[in-house]
């Protein structure tokens, strides 16, 4: 028999995405439709978990989705990814209030603080069978598809295939909300195959970029260099482990990196800005046979001289998406060990009523890094 909290209301408060720049706070979202997929509370399936959301981050992807980026809403070559109306949010933490198994059989208990991987993999497609669940073909990421409503509401459901992580309660919700972007930074750094002594450049010190800096530091590079156009973010990058910080608005960073490496260039370039200029900059900055990792959501198309990639430098161009296989485990451990200054990275915690303001903070990127909403307010 499922363990059900009888206090779960028939309706709850949350944000609904209905279209481009059409995100509204709804006072009465039907639990039956969003939490239970038309079932009653008593019909929670084995493996399903309900949580009371305590925090949900606003990802750069969420902000660019709100703005109308084609990767979410489609273009001449891509079908729309977003299924509306849907509750956004894939960077969440909360308290377990109901489980679909007998409690002694479940991986979590009522009252536990938990999160779940941002993608609910099908387990059947080509990628899942190859062990690449973060590339799952149906690609049900919380907050974009209606079968996996996200965390920008008071409650949410983890479906049966969700990979759930228990978070010790000494990690506060305001810290735990950073687990998802940090896990992405961990995966991005891992994709760079950093070797001892490498010169590693991280371009962009937002939530994922700072996670890349901290994760790259653990790999033992010879030099770890962070780039950003805001000095305040570069100060935090130093706290995350950067040996050198450079502001492209104040110096010629391509020349600087070449001078630091006897004219060769960096071994690994981790791109985390979502700005086309950063991509071009990286191609000029990286050495021959170097490793370029792209982990960004772009609003605009990027044009580069592909001759640099092949005939000139024979580069390894690597994409990075989601959290890989161990991103969440490593991220939780890093926060527990205080290997990253989370308290400086999570800069804003807003009520659901201020969701548009939060999205604007993320899109502007001037006085914020990680912006979160608190559905309990």
Structural domains in the chain? 11-166+341-373 (3.90.180.10), 185-319 (3.40.50.720)
Whole-number percent of the chain with pLDDT over 90: 86
Residues 6+ apart with CB under 8 A from 373: 15, 55, 56, 57, 58, 89, 152, 349, 350, 351, 352, 354, 355, 358
More confident residue, 45 or 259: 259
What is the pTM assigned to this prediction?
0.95
Looking at 190-204, 278-292, 297-311, which range is the least confident one?
A: 297-311
Residue 363 CA to residue 61 CA, distance in Å, equals 10
Whole-number percent of the chain with pLDDT over 70: 97
Cα dihedral: 97, 162, 87, 100 (round 10): -30
Residue 129 CA to residue 302 CA, distance in Å, equals 32
Residue 6 CA to residue 248 CA, distance in Å, equals 56
Residue 148 CA to residue 205 CA, distance in Å, equals 29
Q: Per DSSP, which regions of 230-313 are E strands?
A: 244-246, 266-271, 286-294
pLDDT tens per residue across span 330-362: 999 999 999 999 999 999 999 999 999 999 999
Looking at 38-47, 108-117, 156-165, 265-274, which range is the least confident one?
A: 38-47
* Res 116 pLDDT > 70: yes
Place of tokens 């890094």: 369
Alpha-carbon torsion (164, 81, 89, 317), positive or negative: positive
Provide mean pLDDT across the span 118-138.
Answer: 98
**Phi, then psi, of 311 in degrees rounded to 5:** -65, -30
Tell me the sheet residues that pair with 132. Answer: none
Cβ atoms of 211 and 226 within 8 Å: the answer is no
Residue 214 CA to residue 79 CA, distance in Å, equals 36
Per-residue pLDDT band at 38 (split at 50, 70, 90): confident
Residues 6+ apart with CB under 8 A from 7: 97
Of residues 368, 357, 351, the one with CA closest to residue 53: 351
pLDDT of the residue at 6? 65
pLDDT of the residue at 372? 98
Per-residue pLDDT band at 106 (split at 50, 70, 90): confident
pLDDT of the residue at 184? 98
pLDDT of the residue at 107? 82
pLDDT of the residue at 1? 52
Tell me the sheet residues that pair with 294. Answer: 271, 319
Cβ atoms of 242 and 202 within 8 Å: the answer is yes
Q: What mean pLDDT, rounded, does the chain reach?
A: 95
Per-residue pLDDT band at 2 (split at 50, 70, 90): low
pLDDT of the residue at 365? 85
pLDDT tens per residue across span 317-336: 999 999 999 999 999 999 99
């Amino acid at each position: 028999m499922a363990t059900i909290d009888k206090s779960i209301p028939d309706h709850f408060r949350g944000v609904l995405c209905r279209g481009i720049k059409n995100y509204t706070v709804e006072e009465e979202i039907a639990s039956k439709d969003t939490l239970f997929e038309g079932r009653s509370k008593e019909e929670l399936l084995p493996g399903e978990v309900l949580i009371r959301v305590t925090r949900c981050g606003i990802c750069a992807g969420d902000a660019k989705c709100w703005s109308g980026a084609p990767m979410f809403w489609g273009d001449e070559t891509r079908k729309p990814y977003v299924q509306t109306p849907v509750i956004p949010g894939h960077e969440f933490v909360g308290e377990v209030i109901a489980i679909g198994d007998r409690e002694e059989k479940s991986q979590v208990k009522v009252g536990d603080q938990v999160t779940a991987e941002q993608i609910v993999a099908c387990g059947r497609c080509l990628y899942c069978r190859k062990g690449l669940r973060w590339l799952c073909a149906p690609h049900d990421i919380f907050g974009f598809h209606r079968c996996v409503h996200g965390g920008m509401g008071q409650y949410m459901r983890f479906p049966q295939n969700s990979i759930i992580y228990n978070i010790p309660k000494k990690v506060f919700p305001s810290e735990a909300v950073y687990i998802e972007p940090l896990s992405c930074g961990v995966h991005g750094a891992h994709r760079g195959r950093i070797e001892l002594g490498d010169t590693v450049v991280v371009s962009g010190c937002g939530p994922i970029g700072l996670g890349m800096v901290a994760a790259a530091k653990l790999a033992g590079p010879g030099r770890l260099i962070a780039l950003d156009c805001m000095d305040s973010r570069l100060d935090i990058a130093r706290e995350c482990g950067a040996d050198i910080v450079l502001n492209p608005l104040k110096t010629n960073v391509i020349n600087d990196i070449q001078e630091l490496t006897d004219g060769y260039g960096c071994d690994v370039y981790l791109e985390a800005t979502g700005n086309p200029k950063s991509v071009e900059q990286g191609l000029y900055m990286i050495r021959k046979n170097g490793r370029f990792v792209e982990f960004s959501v772009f609003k605009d198309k990027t044009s580069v001289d592909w001759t640099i990639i092949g005939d000139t430098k024979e580069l390894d161009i690597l994409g990075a998406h989601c959290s890989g296989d161990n991103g969440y485990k490593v991220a939780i451990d890093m926060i527990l060990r205080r290997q990253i200054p989370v308290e400086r990275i999570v800069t804003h915690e807003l009520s659901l009523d201020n969701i548009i303001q939060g999205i604007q903070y993320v899109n502007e990127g001037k006085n914020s890094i990680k912006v979160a909403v608190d559905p309990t307010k």
